[in-house]
Structure 1
Amino acid sequence: MARASADRTLFFFEKPSAMRQLQRFFKAPTTICVSAEGHLLAAQEPAAIRPAWKAWRFDDLPIALDEIPVAYARNRSGASHAGRIEAIRGALQGVDRVIIATDPGREGSMIAWEVLEHLGYRGRVERLRLGALDEVSIRRAFAALAREPDSGERDYAAYLEALCRRYEDWHLGLNGTRAVSLRLRPPAFREPWRFGGVQTPTLAILADLERRIRDFVPRDFFKVAMPVETETGAALTLWHAPKERIFDRAEADAIREAAAGWSGPLSVVQKDVRRPPPRLFSKDTLARRCAKRFGWDPQRTAATAQDLYDSGFLSYPRTESEHLPESQSGDAAAILAAIAGCLDDVAELVPAGEAIVVRRGPRGHYVKDPGEHHAIVPLRKVPRRGELGPEAWRLWELVAKSYLAAHLPDGIDARTTVAAEVATPPGPKRFAVTGSVVRAPGWRAVYGSEAEDEDPVPGKARRDDEPTTGRLPPLRDGAAARATDATVETAVTEPPRRITRGELPVVMGRLIDQVEDPVLRRALENPANPNEPRGLGTAATRDAVLPKLEKSHYVVLAKGKDPAITVTEAGLAFIDAVRRVFPAYGDPVGRAVFEADLAEIGRAPSRAEAVRRAEEFRQRTRARLDALIAAVAGSERLAVAAPSPDGAGRPPTPAMVAFATALAARKGLRLPRGLKQDAAICRRFLDAHAEQREAAAPGAPRPPTPAMRRYAEALARENGLDKLPDDAATDFSACRRFLDAHAAPRPDAPAKPSPRKPAPRRRTRPPAGADRHADTSN
């Protein structure tokens, strides 16, 4: 494209809404504004590039290209973007300079650069980085643009990083899915085994947790309670509940016997405990909070936050940071004043002047360098009630209150711990109890009774807190007391918690919290930004991974506001196959380190260096593909039994749940986690604990188990029948139908699944669109 002679500037926006926000700043007649509508170009499908690639043949693999051809993408209504690109082509005529004003980040850079390169534009390019769309932020962005003459060169590096991510996604999704589906997938599984650079190691995290939950064996452990009475008549109960749990009942009994005869002084320690406010929101932590509070899925939260950003009410939402730059601490007074004028219920809490608390450093809210994008915060521009829809208002209010809390004093609790040391045969043991009183609510006044403790680490068992009590009697340190009794209390260990839908993006971003090995933890540290350790995917794309895993039937979601994720038999089998053949693709830590190397492309100091790094990455990707296909070619198909009709991922029938519940009550058993949501878990429980069936004569109908028959007879009596129908008493299938018809669904039981459709005939080639499996979550 020819260079222009006139000094004309074209601003390239990502969306029309953002263009309208900024057009009021452009007065010059030589200024032109255009906008995209998301990505205007898309990678072509294999069959569109070469028709022979439509059929799935292992001998064609690996399919590798130096560059992936692109075609016009389509908007949400299905219309082609060809017209919009041609309009941009016309607008570029006579333009000397293009200023990219898309959303900050590599995806925004790619949206503009891929169109400019497709149209052959060779003029000057600069990058306007808009962290927010309010007037102050816009003016700051223009001031920064004036100070950065090489902004376009550095932005080209971000574009190449995004292009390399798409390059790997396309190649790995295409070749990996076809290879493992054709050579490793057991005949029992008919769906393609979709493969992806991010979704596969993410599934590995969930599968490892699923194995730990399934293999978990509950164990009884013991706590010793010691009621005591002081010389003044005050009474309270102290507990021996060490972090190293007591699993030996004899040891617990020995401690109890010694405690029953104890007398001596009480240690009373009083201290003030400061509770600082929580961190500000990143995209992932905001999604987690909205899932917990509102029941939103992460994509719904992201879309609502994006709308608020486009309207100028929130800062850029696709961020991994929970901190603000120190340079923005001076904005707090104006933003808090705006919040005070908008939220009547907290207006009186808003500090002014010197009362504003600014916490600096990694443990605070302001740091020297918060990363590419800072935390999500409100702006000076605030919405009026009724201006936003109910969901947008709830999210804005959540972020605004978080910002307010961050600038209020710490909460202070007066904490009293009463303890006694008891001499026992195993050695001296500490008995204690703690009581707390709020001395100063501080930031918690923003939330009142809704002030939440720190969120637990997803995928971990609930921690044992120190025994507490609501109120302690007045006591002095050293007060004489004696035990009036001692008892042993039994508790049961719990398995790890399942990761929920809202927690998964946090798990992917903070993979370091899931790792115990100190060597692996060091590998996940990020020296460039210690507050953001290495993780899987990017903040902008993690939300897309779970829907891909669901579509592949690797996972299912339970019921509830923020549903837990369960890995199916297909998901477990897939991960086992991948790890057996090519372990690197089932290694979350290795993938996180790999992605950190990929991010170095975007940090290249010049265009030439970015091009060199990108070419090295493409060569590395092709080498990995060759190794993957060679490993799959030399491996045997995984031997896995066919899923049962009530297989994993499908809910059990109401009769199965009722039968398992009755069986557990009669035998004094605990129902395993997930039994009411997963038929496979329910079936394993019934197979393990129901009585063996009576052997049937050849040709005779299979009889029901004795337990099934007893339960059916009880239901018959409850429903006013004289006796159980003869066929239900002698035929297993008839008994099952009777139970399904008469067992009342429990309030928390899942709905009865629809009948399964007959399995389709095995296809010689995948269904149309089957290649749309590539993991675009990067």
Structure 2
Amino acid sequence: MSPPSSGRTLFFFEKPSAMRQLQRFFHSPNTVCVAAEGHLLSAEEPGSIRPEWKPWRFDTLPIVLATIPVSYGTNRSGQSHEPKIAAIRQALSGVERVIIATDPGREGSMIAWEVLEHLGWRGRVDRLKLGALDDVSIRRAFAALAKEPSSGERDYAAYLEALCRQYEDYHLGLNGTRAISLRLRPPAFREPWRFGGVQTPTLAILTDLEERIRSFVPQDFFKVALHLGTQSGAELILWHAPKERIFDVEIAETIRTAAVTWSGPLTVEHKDVRRAPPRLFSKDTLARRCAKRFGWDPQHTAGIAQDLYDQGYLSYPRTESEYLPEGQAADATTVIVAIATVLTDLHSLIARDHVPVIRRGIKGHYVKDPGEHHAIVPLRKVPERSRLSADQFQLWELVAKAYLAAHLPDGIDARTSVTAEVRTPIGPKRFAVSGNVIRAPGWRTVYGSETELEADAVPGKARREGEAMSARLPVVNDGEGASAVTADIATAMTEPPRRITRGELPVVMGRLIDQVDDPMVKRALENPVNPNEPKGLGTAATRDTILPKLLKSRYITLSNGKDPAIEVTEVGLAFITAVRRVFPAYGDPVGRATFEAELAEIGRAKTRAEAIQRADAFQHRTRARLDELIAVISNSPVVSLDPSLIPYGQADNQPPTSAMLSFAVSLAERKGVKLPRGCKSSISVCRAFLDTHAGPRAPQNDGVSQPGQQRVPSAAMLSYARGLAEQRGITCPTEIETNFDACRRFLDAHASQPRQRTPEPSSGGARGNKPAEREKRRDRGGEMPGKATTRRRA
């Protein structure tokens, strides 16, 4: 589609709401606007490309495509996007220039570019990056567009990066899930073993932590308390609790014996400690705070933040940065005044002549380059409480208070520390206690009595033991003499690492550097392009989608609580063990983070030609890795897993079918074993019992027969058919031994008949119906699902 020389411009928006925000700026009759509804095109399923790819067969792998075919997607109502794409095709007619005005990220770029590529557009393309939808931000975006004549070229590179992420995700999910499910998956686990480039190393992080927690052996350690009396009559307790903990009680006793006879001068130090406000919010840290404060799922937080962005109340929310560009420092006064019109209880904090505190550098809030998108902040446009839902206002208030706190003075605490040095046979030992008094609350007045003052602990790490604190210290002068009244030993116990919570997982994925201790590995995770954003897993836009996938696969479970902790199941542990055995690179989070950093280089290409070259190299590498993966898996043994360790799924809460239960009773009688507890009430327990005692399935070419090839029944079906024949006093047709359909017809005909009593004590019976028998066949001899999971990543 070649453009005419008409001077007309088409603006391509991601949503109608954003289009309406900007249309008031357009007065020229040569301006045309169109809006998508997210992705208008979707990737084709393998079976719709080639029929032989629909069944799950190992001998068809790897399934590799040069490009992923796409078809028209559907909206939430199930209606095809074909008319919308046809309307965009019509709107492009007579247009000379396209300006992409979708959300400013890789996914936003892809939404527009994939349609333009599909329609064969060959004209000029520019990129309008709307970091926020208030009037000032929109004008700034147009000013930046005018200064960057190659914005379209650079945005095409961002599109290719998103396309490569989708390419890898599609092929890894398709081939990896099928190959691992067909070759490695334990027979008792009936769902696919889902595999992905980001979700698998994320599970590896959780698995490593799970193993550390399970193998943790608590140890006693010791602290020594020194009870003192001073010359002025004051009484206080000093502690010897070094960072290098005391695990030997004899050492603690040596120190205690020396301390009990101590006397001498005390060292008292008074100093002011400045407390700077916390950083602003990125998408991940906002999700963590909302999980901790409100108990929200990260996806819920992301949806609320996106709604507020679309309405022009927050800046772009899918960001990894916690900083603002130095050029926005001049906006602080206006934004703070606007916030105060809504949060009227904070109006007293902002005097008429208030000058915001601007903190620059990585220890502050303003830097020269905050990254592709700056921190999430409120805008000049503020909401009316009545126009927002309760959740929307809570989130806006949280972000607004963080912004206000960032521009208020430091808090100041008056800190007093009292120390004494005790000579012992193993060297001098320091005993100390300290106390804080707030001299100036500073930014903390924004939060009042809220617990916002506490620094967030590093997820997955054991809690650090702080210095001994006293709620209130007596008046003691520096150099004042004191003597021991007594000394005793206190015993404490080491704690295991804390589990990562649902709200913390996106932060862990983005800041993998905090999870490693090796200095060399930490250096490998540093990001020289943007030191404020170290290498991590996935992108800010997609990290909150990983946990639902892991839950669906039963690799993890969630505990109870507002922000539940994540626990890895035996299935998840077995899966990661298998992946690391056959292809360790896919179970290495650090290696994956480095790989993702290389992938991001595609989006940083300065020209279209450079981006295409990098994308081609990446896709070639992806195909080579797939060949290696399939080759290794083809020679790997099936994973062994006790069926009783498989966690329940949503469908497992239902009782087994009558046919399944009758078969289980018959097996138990013939083999002289007891039915396990829960076998009559849980389909999962019953299924595990059958998997253990009914014998292996008959080989069926990966569970799918070739066209024209006769399918044989499973060993379980044959065993059940023979048992029914024995109960009914009839002869099994010979054809059921080799013909699946004949065996199924025999079961349908006889399983629903009333049980005939026979003198044989071991003969079981079955009462059921045809739907129940079909359910049994799905449980014991059904095929694996034929659809691969293909999800977009950006």
TM range (shorter): 0.7 to 0.9
User: Residue 723 of structure 2 corresponds to which residue in structure 1?
Assistant: none
Shift of 1:99: 0.6
Residue correspondence of structure 1 range 196-211 to structure 2 within 5 A: 196-211=196-211
Post-superposition offset of 1:122? 1.2
- Per the TM alignment, residue 598 of structure 1 is displaced from its structure 2 partner at its CA by 0.5
Alpha-carbon contact 2:333-2:355 (below 8 Å) kept: no
CA distance in 1, matches of 2:683, 2:295: 26
| Kept after mapping to 2: 8 A contact 1:569/1:648 | no
Q: Is contact 2:102-2:108 (8 Å) kept?
A: yes
For residues 700 and 164 of structure 1, the distance between their equivalents in structure 2, rounded to whole angstroms, comes to 57
2:769 is aligned to none
Counterpart secondary structure, 1:424: coil
Instruction: Show the 5 A alignment for 1:315-354.
Output: 315-350=315-350
Name the CA distance, whole Å, in 1 between partners of 2:26 and 2:624.
Answer: 49
Contact 1:195/1:775 (8 A) holds in 2:
no
1:470: which partner in 2? 471
Matches within 5 A, 1:679-758: 758=687
Aligned pairs (5 A) from 1:616-695: 616-644=617-645
| Residue 174, structure 1, aligned to residue 192, structure 2 | no
CA–CA distance in 1 between the matches of 2:596 and 2:610?
Answer: 18
State the secondary structure of the residue aligned to 1:114: helix
1:572 match: 573
Matched-pair contact (CA < 8 Å) for 2:96–2:124: yes
User: Which segment drifts farther, 576-585 or 185-194?
Assistant: 185-194
Take 2:464 and 2:648, find their aligned partners in 1: how far apart are those partners? 29
Q: Which residue of structure 1 aligns with residue 10 of structure 2?
A: 10
Deviation at 1:263, TM superposition (A): 1.0
Which residue does 2:26 correspond to in 1?
26
Secondary structure of 1:486's partner? strand
Is the Cα contact below 8 Å between 1:542 and 1:777 reproduced in 2?
no
Asked whether the equivalents of residues 687 and 779 of structure 2 are also in contact (C-alpha less than 8 Å), the reply is no
Q: State the TM-score, normalizing by the size of structure 1.
A: 0.85
**How many angstroms does 1:3 deviate by?**
1.9
> Higher mean Cα deviation, 118-127 or 373-382?
118-127
Q: Give the secondary structure class of the aligned counterpart of 1:84.
A: helix
Partner of 2:45: 45
TM superposition score normalised by structure 2:
0.84
Map of 1:133 onto structure 2: 133
Corresponding residue SS for 2:413: strand
Residues in 1 aligned to 2:351 and 2:517: alpha-carbon distance in whole angstroms = 42
* 1:459-478 Cα shifts (integer Å, max 9, x gaps): 00000100101110111111
1:761 to 751, 763, 779: 779
Please state how far the C-alpha of 1:187 moved relative to its aligned partner: 1.9
Query: 1:173-206: per-residue Cα shift (whole Å, max 9, x none)?
Result: 1111111111111223222110000000000000
Match of 2:119 in 1: 119
Quote the offset at 1:777 in angstroms: 4.4
Name stretches of at least 5 consecutive residues in structure 2 with no aligned partner.
Answer: 654-670, 689-777
Deviation at 1:634, TM superposition (A): 2.5
For residues 21-45 of structure 1, give each alpha carbon's deviation from its aligned partner in whole angstroms, at most 9, with x where no partner exists. Answer: 1110011111111100000001111
Task: Say if 2:165 and 2:793, in contact at 8 Å, map to a contact too.
Answer: no
Equivalent residue number for residue 76 of structure 2: 76
Report the alpha carbon displacement of residue 350 of structure 1 after superposing the two structures with TM.
2.5
Counterparts of 1:23 and 1:171, CA distance in 2: 40
Q: Where in structure 2 are the equivalents of 1:246-645 lying within 5 Å? A: 246-350=246-350, 355-450=355-450, 451-644=452-645
What amino acid does structure 2 have at the position aligned with 1:467?
A
Does the Cα contact within 8 Å between 2:12 and 2:100 map onto a contact in 1? yes
Report the CA distance shift for 1:753/1:448 in structure 2 as closer, same or farther (over 3 A): farther
- Structure 1 window deviating more from structure 2 (303-312 vs 379-388): it is 379-388
Report if aligned partners of 1:359, 1:366 keep a CA contact under 8 Å in 2.
yes
Matched residue type, 1:630: A
Q: Match for 2:346: what amino acid?
A: V
Q: Give CA deviations for 1:76-133 in whole Å, capped at 9, x if unaligned.
A: 2221111111111111111111110000011000000000110111111111000000
SS of corresponding position for 2:342 = coil
Deviation of the 1:407 alpha carbon: 0.3
3-state SS of paired residue (2:272): strand
Matched residue pairs, number? 685
CA contact (8 A) 1:130 1:137 kept: yes
- Residues in 2 aligned to 1:775 and 1:94: alpha-carbon distance in whole angstroms: 35
Which one has a bigger Cα radius of gyration? 2
Alpha-carbon contact 2:526-2:534 (below 8 Å) kept: yes
1:767, 1:303 → 2: CA distance?
31
How far did residue 630 of structure 1 move? 1.2
- Three-state SS of the structure 2 residue aligned to 1:396 is helix
C-alpha distance in 2 between matches for 1:193 and 1:758: 18
Question: Who is 2:692 aligned against?
Answer: none
2:110 partner SS: helix
After superposition, the C-alpha distances for 1:579-621 in whole angstroms (9 at most, x for unaligned) are: 0110000000000000100011111110011111111111010
| Secondary structure in structure 1 of the residue aligned to 2:500 | coil
Deviation string, structure 1 residues 647-689 (Cα, Å, up to 9, x no partner): 5899xx9xxxxxxxxxxxxxxxxxxxxxxxxxxxxxxxxxxxx
CA contact (8 A) 2:259 2:484 kept: yes
> Measured at CA, do residues 184 and 368 of structure 1 come closer, stay the same or move farther in structure 2, by a change above 3 Å?
same
Unaligned runs of 5+ in 1: 654-698, 703-730, 738-751
SS state at 2:395 partner = helix
1:489 is paired with a residue whose SS is strand
Give the drift of 1:155: 0.6
SS of residue in 1 equivalent to 2:387: coil
SS in 2 for 1:643: helix
1:698-722 deviations in whole A, cap 9, x for unaligned? x9999xxxxxxxxxxxxxxxxxxxx
Q: Is the 8 A contact 1:415 1:434 kept in 2?
A: yes
> RMSD over aligned Cα, in angstroms?
2.1
Percent identical pairs in the alignment equals 69
SS of the aligned residue for 1:438 comes to strand
CA 1:19–1:763 in structure 2 vs 1: closer, same or farther (change >3 Å)?
farther
